[in-house]
Chain A
Amino acid sequence: MKELLSTVVKPLLHHPEELQIEESKEGKKIKLEVRVDPDDMGRIIGKGGKRANAIRSVMKAKGTIDGVRVVVDIVE
């Protein structure tokens, strides 16, 4: 999960080295907490949350294959 999220997100950022992802699992739910450089917040969220939603859709696709529910939290 974590690797895919990193693959999806990194090219969107100006400071990819600051990307941090924490993965935790509760039963059938996987939670991914994402932290980026403050300068990159807009680049990961996008206008009206468009990028964040696209990122979540892609993660959900993997969740469907793996049989888990994926929650992506972008932490400020």
Chain B
Amino acid sequence: MARNKSLETSGKTVDIAVEKALEELKVRKNEVDIEILDEGETGGLLGFGRRPALVRVSLKADIVTPDDTSDDDFDLEDEDAEEIEALEYDETDREEGEETSERGFAAAENAMLDYFQDVLSGIGIHGRIDSYVDEEGSLHIDVSGSDSGAAIGRHGETLDALQYLANVVANKYVDDYLRVVVDVAGYRKRSEERIRDLANRTADKVMATGREMKLKPMNPAERRLVHICLREHPGIVTYSEGRDPRRHIVVAPSAGVEVIDDKRK
């Protein structure tokens, strides 16, 4: 039994990276634990902001297939903590010889929601938590309540941290990638609207003056929003320049402008 054997791979998407690792280790998906180190960024128009996904794939200490998942799994000796934890979380959602992706998602969702609730009340926030799955399969967590402001933080810093950690925990329990979007009191929604507004207003100014304009530094998700928003705008091109955390978008008139992708530097 190969213990602790693990491999880090990267690929265009999480699935591709995982596929690579499985091929390398010559095992099937249910024989490994998958940790998403970086979900990557598929990039917007012309691939701006593209970043490969990075995963760590580890062989399970004891391979537990759905067929032998039964009560005596808990008698396994000398398991590593991860395996025991995984079994504990699966206990209520997995029946003998049966495991569908839907079940995996339900287990992941429950585990993640428990985690999220514990962290939130640990911070001292006792708002209401609503969750739903959107058309694209992303799981949304909406927090509301008078004391929920602390979960947003300066420029949404706490909100982004909570969302990131929720994604890490959610994907610890499922093979397929589950995306979690956290919002507090509609903050994310409003800030997306503000960014779209800013993008459109800037594009109008650039069209009126014929001169390019730089936007304030933004994170990848925000930059992506601007690129998508102005993709169809005639006479305008957008590109990013600079390095994180100062990386920002330039909105320029498209006539006579050469698009430079400085991502390769």
Contacts and interface: CB of A to CB of B under 8 A. Distances in A.
Contact of A11 (B37, B124, B158, B169): B169
A14 B80 contact: yes
A41 interface: no
B158 A58 contact: yes
Contacts of A46: 37
A16 B82 CA distance: 9
B118 A7 contact: yes
B158 A57 contact: yes
A28 interface: no
- Secondary structure at the B interface, as helix, strand, loop or mixed, is helix
B151 interface: yes
B172 A11 contact: yes
A12 B169 contact: yes
A35 interface: no
Nearest to A39: B4
Contacts of B164: 50-51, 54
A50 B219 CA distance: 13
- Secondary structure at the A interface, as helix, strand, loop or mixed, is helix
Interface in A3-53: 3-4, 7-8, 11-17, 39, 43, 46-47, 50-51, 53
Contacts of B161: 53-58
A72 to B, nearest CB: 12
Contacts of A50: 38, 164
A3 B72 CA distance: 32
A34 to B, nearest CB: 15
Contact of A58 (B38, B82, B123, B168): B123
B38, B54, B80, B164: most-surrounded residue (chain A CB, <10 A): B164
A49 B162 CA distance: 15
A35 B162 CA distance: 22
Given A14-B80, A54-B165, A61-B151, A43 B122 contact: no
A65 B150 contact: yes
B116 to A, nearest CB: 11
Nearest to B152: A61
A51 B168 contact: yes
Interface string B154-188: 00011011101100110010000000000000000
A16 B119 CA distance: 16
Contacts of A17: 81
Interface pairs A-B: 3 shortest CB-CB:
A57-B161, A4-B122, A54-B161
Interface of B: 4, 35, 37-38, 54, 80-82, 85, 111, 115, 118-119, 122-124, 150-151, 153, 157-158, 160-162, 164-165, 168-169, 172
9 contacts: A7-B118, A11-B172, A51-B164, A57-B160, A58-B123, A61-B151, A62-B122, A64-B150, A65-B123
